[in-house]
Amino acid sequence: MTTEELRQSLLRNPKNGYTQLSAQQREEMEAYCKRYMAFMDACKTEREATTWTVATCQAHGFKEIKPGMELNPGDKVYYNNRGKSIIVAVIGSESLYWGANICAAHVDSPRMDLKPNPLYESDEIAYFKTHYYGGIKKYQWTAVPLAIHGVVYRKDNTVVTVTVGEDDNDPVFFVSDLLIHLSADQLQKPAAKVIEGEQLNVILGTEPLEGEGSDLVKLHVMKLLNEKYGIIEADFQSAELTIVPAGKCREVGLDRSLLAAYGHDDRVCAFAEIEPLLNMGTPTHTAVCILADKEEIGSVGVSGMQSQAFEYFMGILCESQNVKLADCFAHSFCLSADVSNAFDPNFAETCDRRNNSFLNYGVAICKYTGSRGKGGASDASAEVMGHIRTTLDNAGVIWQMATLGKVDQGGGGTVAAYMANRNIDTVDAGVPVLCMHAPMELVSKLDCYMTMLACQAVYQA
Ligand code: MN
Ligand code: MN
């Protein structure tokens, strides 16, 4: 053999996905990304993603699960976990004893939540006090247009849904930063201290009501809120209102190959998971899609992936077939679908480029996450890696390997560990992202599309 032949047959030869994409796949990719962009514009919080998924599932013949219900192969069901997380399944032809094929993503993203008593006035400017949620570089959230999303429960326990800042005619909101002219001291601070948590105060208004007394700007804002939503200040105490970047998902680059949006992490994988289920015929193994909440703060709480809500749902499925839940879990497979860090030439020194994911190289498989000596990682076994490799290759999915940055540089985790704790073989995979956790994140259309194909292949395995 010549050296070149040896090279071809023995060595890895990673290629940009665009060199392998057929004309038909290109067309499908564009159509898929159009649908994804619409999903992103409709869903900026876990609540909105859950609401969207319930409505979409109902339109595709899925039924809400009920304990004791009869379930047959091909039946389509969902469990709405308190409006903040959702599990969807299509019953397979095989017994659940032989396990389910599960894809798990999360639909919460970093943001600024309102504090329980958020409204105040300082020097005739009205503000909301916020408490950031998830890992953010706080300085990135100043001087960008913001929107308010969420729900308020009023004294009579009726609920009102609030969305301000997304319609072109809506006002938007801001956190101020210091002018450069007076930033001599600020610019000497470490980036973590340039803007601090208690400075993430959102500007709501500046016009005082006519009259005597203090806090006339605050009173004006409260009056406007009362006129529109029928709420009073005490109602903030039974509310979940959150501040997110305002605006829509946009194409990026002259070639339009990238998408910018708030919260690709991890709605880009959530959409990739749910799409292939909607029109799926009867799979061999039961296909299960999880859209979890609270991943960004440790998968805790009743709507997070550590919650027994998953056992509750899977228990109902298993009971309908007289199968033990533990047997089902032991034979199941889970793709923990979450984003990875795309290699960024601007910050090349933070990554091992031989092991990092790249834009346009397809869905990124992450054998392990964690930090330092793999601390906190769910490390997929060689057997699991062999399974996913074969599954993706057989389905013609373009994929690559990923690690989260250089050893000792930092790290992260996903829901994988909590799925693995349930005795379910699990591996991480997802879309490479640039500027993860910034107000706007970037992904490539090709990688989005390949992640959807990967989820489809997992369901059909
Ligand atoms: Mn994530
Ligand atoms: Mn994240």
Q: What is the pLDDT of residues 199-246, one digit of tens each?
A: 999 999 999 999 999 999 999 999 999 999 999 999 999 999 999 999
Which residue, 11, 19, 9, is CA-closest to 398?
A: 19
Write the pLDDT tens digit of every residue in 276-285: 999 999 999 9
**What is the pLDDT averaged over residues 440-444?**
98
Give me ligand 2 centre to Cα 75, in Å: 33
Sheet holding 250-252, edge to edge: 250-252, 258-261, 441-444, 432-434, 340-341
Give me ligand 2 centre to Cα 340, in Å: 9
Distance from C-alpha of 371 to C-alpha of 376, rounded to nearest angstrom: 7
Q: Is 47 a residue whose pLDDT tops 90?
A: yes
Give me ligand 1 centre to Cα 448, in Å: 14
Q: Is 59 a residue whose pLDDT tops 90?
A: yes
Give me ligand 2 centre to Cα 354, in Å: 23
Determine phi and psi for 89, rounding to 5 degrees.
Answer: -145, 150
Distance from C-alpha of 120 to C-alpha of 214, rounded to nearest angstrom: 11
Distance from C-alpha of 257 to C-alpha of 388, rounded to nearest angstrom: 27
Domain boundaries 15-109+262-460, CATH class: alpha beta
Give me ligand 1 centre to Cα 341, in Å: 10
Q: Is 408 a residue whose pLDDT tops 90?
A: no
Amino acid at 9: S
Q: Is 376 a residue whose pLDDT tops 90?
A: no
Give me ligand 2 centre to Cα 245, in Å: 16
Number of other residues whose CB lies within 10 A of the CB of residue 11: 7
Q: Is 427 a residue whose pLDDT tops 90?
A: yes
**21-to-24, 161, 345, 437 alpha-carbon distances in Å:** 8, 43, 24, 29
The predicted pLDDT at position 305 comes to: 97
Distance from C-alpha of 425 to C-alpha of 416, rounded to nearest angstrom: 9
Give me ligand 1 centre to Cα 122, in Å: 36
Sheet holding 63-64, edge to edge: 63-64, 76-81, 85-90, 286-292, 100-106, 333-337, 425-430, 363-366, 399-401
Give me ligand 1 centre to Cα 431, in Å: 10
**What is the pLDDT averaged over residues 83-94?**
98
Q: Is the pLDDT higher at 342 or at 372? A: 342
Do you find a cis peptide bond into 108, omega within 30 degrees of 0?
Answer: no
Give me ligand 1 centre to Cα 67, in Å: 31
Where in the sequence of the chain do the CATH 2.30.250.10 domains occur? Answer: 111-245
Helices 382-394 & 445-460 angle (0-180, nearest 10) = 110
Helices (H), 382-436: 382-394, 416-420
On average, the pLDDT of the chain sits at 97
Helices (H), 177-255: 191-194, 216-229
The predicted pLDDT at position 340 comes to: 96
Give me ligand 1 centre to Cα 340, in Å: 8
Where in the sequence of the chain do the CATH 3.40.630.10 domains occur? Answer: 15-109+262-460
**Residue 377 — very low, low, confident or very high, per pLDDT cuts 50/70/90?**
confident
The predicted pLDDT at position 412 comes to: 85
Give me ligand 2 centre to Cα 434, in Å: 12
**What is the pLDDT averaged over residues 383-410?**
95
Q: Identify each DSSP E strand in 217-261 by its residue range.
A: 239-245, 250-252, 258-261
The predicted pLDDT at position 334 comes to: 98
Burial of residue 166, with CB atoms counted within 10 A of its CB: 0-12 exposed, 13-18 middle, 19 or more buried: middle
Cβ–Cβ under 8 Å, residues 280 and 73? no
Cβ–Cβ under 8 Å, residues 391 and 457? yes
* Residues that place a CB less than 5 A from ion ligand 1: 265-266, 338
Give me ligand 2 centre to Cα 265, in Å: 5
Burial of residue 244, with CB atoms counted within 10 A of its CB: 0-12 exposed, 13-18 middle, 19 or more buried: buried
Q: For the chain, what percent of residues have pLDDT higher than 90? A: 95
Q: Identify each DSSP E strand in 107-238 by its residue range.
A: 111-122, 125-133, 146-153, 159-164, 201-205
Give me ligand 2 centre to Cα 286, in Å: 28
Cβ–Cβ under 8 Å, residues 433 and 349? no
C-alpha torsion 388→108→59→69, nearest 10: 70
The predicted pLDDT at position 275 comes to: 97
Q: Which ligand is nearest to the CA of 340?
A: 1
Burial of residue 265, with CB atoms counted within 10 A of its CB: 0-12 exposed, 13-18 middle, 19 or more buried: buried
Q: Is 410 a residue whose pLDDT tops 90?
A: no
Q: Is domain 111-245 in CATH 2.30.250.10, yes or no?
A: yes
**Residue 411 — very low, low, confident or very high, per pLDDT cuts 50/70/90?**
confident
Q: Which ligand is nearest to the CA of 415?
A: 1
The predicted pLDDT at position 241 comes to: 98
The predicted pLDDT at position 224 comes to: 98
Predicted TM-score of the model (pTM) = 0.97
**What is the pLDDT averaged over residues 111-116?**
98
Q: Which ligand is nearest to the CA of 104?
A: 1
**Residue 409 — very low, low, confident or very high, per pLDDT cuts 50/70/90?**
confident
With a CB cutoff of 8 Å and minimum separation 6, the contacts of 441 are 260, 261, 262, 263, 264, 265, 433, 434, 435
Distance from C-alpha of 383 to C-alpha of 365, rounded to nearest angstrom: 14
Q: Is 141 a residue whose pLDDT tops 90?
A: yes
Which residue, 336, 450, 347, is CA-closest to 405?
A: 347
Distance from C-alpha of 357 to C-alpha of 433, rounded to nearest angstrom: 9
**Residue 119 — very low, low, confident or very high, per pLDDT cuts 50/70/90?**
very high
**What is the pLDDT averaged over residues 26-52?**
98
The predicted pLDDT at position 74 comes to: 98
Q: Which ligand is nearest to the CA of 305?
A: 1
Please, what is the end-to-end C-alpha distance for the chain in angstroms? 37
Q: Which ligand is nearest to the CA of 437?
A: 2
Distance from C-alpha of 82 to C-alpha of 240, rounded to nearest angstrom: 13
